[in-house]
Amino acid sequence: MDEISLLRRARTDIPERTSASVARGRAELFAQIEAETPYAPFAAIGNDTSFTPRPLRRRRRRTVAWTGFSALGATALTVALVSGNLFGVGGWHGGADPAAADVLNAAALATLEVSDPQLAPGQYLRVRTDGTYLTEGWLDEDVDAARVDGEVVDLASIEPQYYMQGEQYEVFLSADRSDSWWWIQCRVTLDQTFGPKSEQAAQQNPSFTDGVAGHLQEAPGGLRKYELPDGGFKIGSPVGGYTTLDGSSDDFTLLPLEPSELLNEIYRFNGDAGQSRDGQALVWITDTLRLGTVPAEYRAAMYQAAALIPGVTITDNQATLNGTTGIAIGRDEANSSVREEMIIDPATGQFIGERRIALESYGPVAAGSPMGWTAVTTEIVDAAPTDVSSCNP
Amino acid sequence: MTTPDGEIICRSLEQPAAFAEVYDRHERVVFRYAARRLGASLAEDIASETFLVAFTRRRDFKGGGDARPWLLGIATTLMRQHARTEAKAWRGMLASDLARVDIDEIDAADARLDAKRLTRRLGRALARLPAGDRDTLLLHTFGDLDYEGISQALSIPVGTVRSRLNRARRKLRAAIELTSSREKEQSHGRNLAPAPSAD
């Protein structure tokens, strides 16, 4: 017997890891996942049949026909809003395109004029996010054909298949935010395929059929709660809130309200993450606004902070998501060939949703077309959810 | 659907929760690898931490369809803080650690004695190996990685893997052969064994 054979047989009588230990490791991983993603901690999700893809309008830049501000007046307003600390932004090297800044600052003003919804005791603010995004996969048979000695060495050699996957996520904020919140995550749905192979690949993905239709979870004081296999539970990160350098927080009062200071803080929170410092700052703002939990004065500050980010432009004056039209604000990322956009209604300050636009053709998506989008809607409801019936089959 | 790990990790860049699938697929392999080196108790922490580190560094994943080399590489790095514990465990290696070793080549009457001697020498030889050589050897034997996989796990060229593995095997073989020579010594009542290396 050689040394390798001998060693292979050493310490083989290792006890299996207990299911509680496996579950604890999984819970820790989810806590980490949440810290990075303030929403959608599970892969599961659902469908909203009223949420149908809409073709992208031809991109229009700069020629803002937004009513209420002349170009001069809007620019003057921009300066008025940010001049106090215009040069206080660390490494500040410009700011948004003036037209985009107009829209963002108008949205900020409108936000301050529109007070947050007032909830009566027992009522909840329901924030629903519907999303669709391009998903890439491979056919089982193509993967098997690419195996060498049982291993797939080169994924790039396999023809990718694409389809659009839908998700649905709901948060119910309690009138008293220290009471229990609730959140629902529905199972993912297949929203669109691109031909027979795409359809086949989607059918091979068990995410659309396996498991329950959705999860309903309690969140005491807005914090996620996990049941542990040993009967205990673990309190995790906030359902709402924002990500920081080393985790997440739902205490908005810790953020500066002054836009340039806020932008500095956002840069600090994100470190080296993302395709670029400025692009990541815009993504952070979009991610945070998407949750629908940001108090009005901080929403306004975030819009104003976005107006200070270099390279931010208006990309679509008539962007429609889920039946609501707004103005798309985005930033081209040279490194990723993808533009992240937020869509807002500058007249009300409403955050309508977001889109990811392919700057180069990618799979079935033509250059200039969306690879994914999410739409956010809010309403006041009189009771907490008791089931996941809102998850469409 | 047999989705390659690479696809899942790619997807998790957009959809972080997808990374849980990587955990479900490989936590057992990582745990067993760590447990064989450090014992079950420490291995639980190593296994959990491995996936936390992997998740935060998933953008760095350069592998293909199989994430095991990458994960075992992370686990190996994490285990280095327990190098003393591991070395101590190897030095105290018991015959029961080799319970499944087929000892039919050893004279039945001396089987227990030889197994003890064998494990002690093997354990000491492992404890004395340079960390890099030991990592390479144990990724091969406990992690079931081939040269290419070890190369990915430790971020070293395949040639280095080969030389480390050869060196580690040579040292272990010397320890085992020394034991075999002593068997002969006992059987024939003569000392024909070479002088033992310092241990």
CATH 3.40.50.300 assigned to domain B1-91? The reply is no
Best interface-test mutation with B: which of A2, A7, A183, A186 has the largest number of B CBs within 10 A? A7
Query: Which residues on adjacent β-strands are paired with residue A235?
Result: A225
B40-56 and A19-36 helices, crossing angle to 10°: 20
What does CATH list as the number for B92-199?
1.10.10.10
DSSP state of A171: E
The residue type of A9 is R
Which tokens sit at A106? 């108008």
A191 or B84, which is more confident? A191
- What are the tens digits of pLDDT across the range A341-366? 999 988 888 899 999 888 888 889 99
A230 or A87, which is more confident? A230
Least reliable range by pLDDT among A188-202, A260-274, B130-144, B171-185: B171-185
CA distance B76 to B153: 8
Query: Which whole number is the average pLDDT over B159-173?
Result: 90
Number of domains in chain A: 1
Q: Do domains B1-91 and B92-199 have the same CATH topology?
A: no
- What are the tens digits of pLDDT across the range A156-177? 678 888 889 888 989 999 998 8
A388 within domain boundaries: no
Residue B22 predicted with pLDDT over 60: yes
Cα torsion angle, A81, A85, A89, A92, sign? positive
* Domain encompassing residue A67: 6-381
CA distance A315 to A330: 6
Q: Residue B98: pLDDT band by 50, 70, 90 thresholds? A: low
CA distance B107 to B102: 12
A196 within domain boundaries: yes
- What are the tens digits of pLDDT across the range A190-221? 999 988 988 998 888 877 887 788 888 889 98
- What are the tens digits of pLDDT across the range B23-63? 989 999 999 999 999 888 889 889 988 998 899 888 878 77
CB contact under 8 A, B35 and A14: yes
Query: Which whole number is the average pLDDT over A272-299?
Result: 87
State the maximum Cα–Cα separation within chain B, in Å, rounded to a whole number. 71
Q: Which residues of A touch B55 (CB under 8 A)?
A: 29, 32-33, 36
CA angle A237, A242, A247 (to 5 degrees): 50
Query: Which whole number is the average pLDDT over A221-230?
Result: 74
CA distance B67 to B11: 14
- The residue behind tokens 């809003």 is A81
The residue type of A342 is M
CA distance B181 to B187: 10
pLDDT at A60: 25
pLDDT at B174: 84
| CB-closest option in B7, B20, B137 to A30 | B20
CA distance B19 to B52: 10
Mean of per-residue pLDDT scores for chain A: 77
Q: Which has the closest alpha carbon to B178: B95, B87, B98, B114?
A: B114
Global ipTM: 0.78
CA distance A49 to A322: 10
- The residue behind tokens 């020394």 is B178
pLDDT at B191: 32
Q: B94: Cβ–Cβ under 8 A, 6 or more apart, which residues?
A: B119
Rg of chain B in Å (alpha carbons): 20
A364 within domain boundaries: yes
CB contact under 8 A, A22 and B27: yes
CB contact under 8 A, B7 and A155: yes
- What are the tens digits of pLDDT across the range A94-129? 688 888 888 898 888 888 887 677 889 999 999 999
B106 → chain A, closest CA residue = A1
DSSP state of A254: G
Q: How far is CA A370 from CA A104, A362, A367, A374, in A?
A: 22, 10, 8, 11
Q: Residue B95: pLDDT band by 50, 70, 90 thresholds? A: low
B131-141 and B147-154 helices, crossing angle to 10°: 130
Closest-CA distance, A63 to chain B, in angstroms, reads: 32
| CB-closest option in B3, B48, B97 to A10 | B97
pLDDT at B23: 92
A391 within domain boundaries: no
CA distance A43 to A39: 11
A296-306 and A98-113 helices, crossing angle to 10°: 170
The residue type of A182 is W
A277-290 and A296-306 helices, crossing angle to 10°: 160
CA distance A168 to A186: 6
Closest-CA distance, B169 to chain A, in angstroms, reads: 7
Q: Residue A229: pLDDT band by 50, 70, 90 thresholds? A: low
Residue A382 predicted with pLDDT over 90: yes
Q: Residue A324: pLDDT band by 50, 70, 90 thresholds? A: confident
Closest-CA distance, B18 to chain A, in angstroms, reads: 6
pLDDT at B117: 74
DSSP state of A375: E
B40-56 and B20-38 helices, crossing angle to 10°: 140
CA distance B88 to B94: 12
A147 or A217, which is more confident? A217
Closest-CA distance, B71 to chain A, in angstroms, reads: 14
CB contact under 8 A, B101 and A155: no
Q: Residue A231: pLDDT band by 50, 70, 90 thresholds? A: low
The residue type of B145 is L
pLDDT at B31: 94
Q: End-to-end CA distance of chain B, in Å?
A: 53
Query: Which whole number is the average pLDDT over A302-325?
Result: 88
Q: What is the dihedral of CA A73, A76, A81, A83, to 10 degrees?
A: 180
Q: Which has the closest alpha carbon to B134: A3, A314, A249, A296?
A: A3
A7 → chain B, closest CA residue = B141
- What are the tens digits of pLDDT across the range A29-86? 877 776 664 333 222 222 322 222 222 222 222 222 222 222 333 333 333 333 333 3
| CB-closest option in B35, B56, B137 to A32 | B56
CB contact under 8 A, A137 and B10: no
Q: What ranges do the domains of chain B cover?
A: 1-91, 92-199
Which tokens sit at B197? 């290396």
CA distance A68 to A270: 35
CA distance A5 to A128: 58
Q: A250: Cβ–Cβ under 8 A, 6 or more apart, which residues?
A: A222, A223, A238, A239, A240, A241, A242, A293
Report helix, strand or coil for A320: strand
| CB-closest option in B4, B40, B173 to A14 | B40
A274 or B123, which is more confident? B123
Rg of chain A in Å (alpha carbons): 23
Side-chain-facing half-sphere of A99: CA atoms under 13 Å: 17
